[in-house]
Structure 1
Amino acid sequence: MTAINSCLRTYSMMKTIRSIKKMHVMYTFTRCVSTERKQPYYNLDVLHAPVFADRKELIHHIQKSVLYDDENILALNKPNGVPMKAVHDEGVPSMFDILEDLRECYDAPELEYMLGLSRNQSGIILLVKHALAKVKLKKSLQGQRSHGEINHEFICVCLGEPKFKPEVEKIRYLRKEINGRQQAVLVPHFHKSMKKAPLSSFNIQSEVLATSPLESSPKVSLVGITCDSGKKECLEMYMADHLSPILGDHVYSHRVVEVAGEQVKQDSAAAIRSPQIIPSEVKRTLKIGKHTHFVPLHLHKSGLILHRFPHKKSEPFMIESQLPGFFVDTMEKLQLLPNDENIDAYEEDEITDID
Structure 2
Amino acid sequence: MAAPRFLLCPGGGPRAACSARAWYQQPLRPGGPGRQAAGGPGRGSIVGQAGGPWSRQEALGLLEAAVVYREGPLVAISKPPGLAVTGSPGQLSVISLLPDLSQRLSLPHELHVVKAAGKDSSGLVLLSGCPGTTRQLHAFFTQLRRAGRPPATYRAVTAGVPAAVEGEIHTGLKLEQVGDLQLVVPVAGPSRRSVERKEVKQTLTHYRVLGTAPGCSLVQLQPMTAFPSQLLVHLTLLLCPALGDHVYSARVGRVLGEPFLLPAGSALPHTQVLGEQLLRRLRLTQELLHRLPLHLHLYQLLLPTASLTAPPPPFFLQTLRLLGLPGSQSVP
Same fold (TM over 0.5): yes
Structure 1, unaligned runs of 5 or more: 1-33, 214-218, 308-315, 339-345, 347-355
Q: Using the alignment, how far apart are the partners of 2:237 and 2:31 within structure 1? A: 28
Q: Secondary structure at the match of 1:293?
A: helix
1:102-181 correspondence to structure 2 within 5 Å: 102-104=101-103, 105-164=105-164, 166-181=166-181
Q: Using the alignment, how far apart are the partners of 2:296 and 2:54 within structure 1? A: 23
Cα deviation, 1:209-253, whole Å, max 9, x if unaligned, reads 21224xxxxx11111112234543110000011111111000100
1:242 aligned to 2:264?
no
Q: Using the alignment, how far apart are the partners of 1:254 and 1:168 within structure 2? A: 22
Say which structure, 1 or 2, has more relative contact order (CA 8 Å, 6+ apart). 1
Whether the 8 Å contact between 1:39 and 1:326 is mirrored in structure 2 is no
Q: Using the alignment, how far apart are the partners of 1:286 and 1:41 within structure 2? A: 11
1:52-131 correspondence to structure 2 within 5 Å: 52-86=53-87, 93-104=92-103, 105-131=105-131
Post-superposition shift, 1:107?
3.2
* Cα gap change, 1:107 to 1:74, in 2 (>3 Å): closer
Q: Secondary structure at the match of 1:43?
A: helix
TM-score by length of structure 2 reads 0.80
Post-superposition shift, 1:166?
4.3
Cα deviation, 1:155-189, whole Å, max 9, x if unaligned, reads 11111111247455544312222232222222222
Structure 1 residue ranges (4+ consecutive) displaced by more than 4 angstroms after TM superposition? 165-169
Which residue of 37, 44, 49 maps to 2:34? 44
Equivalence for 2:223: 227
Whether the 8 Å contact between 1:150 and 1:204 is mirrored in structure 2 is no
Which residue type is aligned with residue 187 of structure 2?
Answer: V
Q: Using the alignment, how far apart are the partners of 2:130 and 2:213 within structure 1? A: 46
TM-score by length of structure 1 reads 0.75
* Cα gap change, 1:47 to 1:230, in 2 (>3 Å): farther
Equivalence for 2:268: 272
Q: Using the alignment, how far apart are the partners of 2:188 and 2:219 within structure 1? A: 22
Higher mean C-alpha deviation, range 38-47 or range 297-306: 38-47
Post-superposition shift, 1:203?
3.1
Q: Secondary structure at the match of 2:25?
A: coil
Structure 2, unaligned runs of 5 or more: 1-23, 36-46
* Cα gap change, 1:170 to 1:306, in 2 (>3 Å): farther
1:326 aligned to 2:315?
yes
Which residue type is aligned with residue 311 of structure 2?
Answer: Q
Whether the 8 Å contact between 1:35 and 1:323 is mirrored in structure 2 is no
Q: Secondary structure at the match of 2:139?
A: helix
Question: Size of the alignment, in residue pairs?
Answer: 292
Q: Using the alignment, how far apart are the partners of 1:304 and 1:108 within structure 2? A: 21
Post-superposition shift, 1:287?
2.2
Q: Secondary structure at the match of 2:274?
A: coil
Q: What's the Cα RMSD here?
A: 2.5
Equivalence for 1:256: 252
Equivalence for 2:303: 306
Higher mean C-alpha deviation, range 290-299 or range 165-174: 165-174
Whether the 8 Å contact between 1:41 and 1:288 is mirrored in structure 2 is no
Which residue type is aligned with residue 101 of structure 1?
Answer: D
* Cα gap change, 1:291 to 1:87, in 2 (>3 Å): farther
Q: Using the alignment, how far apart are the partners of 1:328 and 1:165 within structure 2? A: 22
Choose between structure 1 and 2: higher helix proportion: 1
Whether the 8 Å contact between 2:69 and 2:75 is mirrored in structure 1 is yes
Which residue type is aligned with residue 119 of structure 2?
Answer: R
Higher mean C-alpha deviation, range 131-140 or range 267-276: 131-140
Equivalence for 1:342: none
The percent identity for this pair of structures is 24
Q: Using the alignment, how far apart are the partners of 1:123 and 1:131 within structure 2? A: 23
Post-superposition shift, 1:288?
1.9
Q: Using the alignment, how far apart are the partners of 1:170 and 1:150 within structure 2? A: 15
Post-superposition shift, 1:36?
1.9
* Cα gap change, 1:177 to 1:164, in 2 (>3 Å): farther
Higher mean C-alpha deviation, range 233-242 or range 196-205: 196-205
Post-superposition shift, 1:85?
2.6
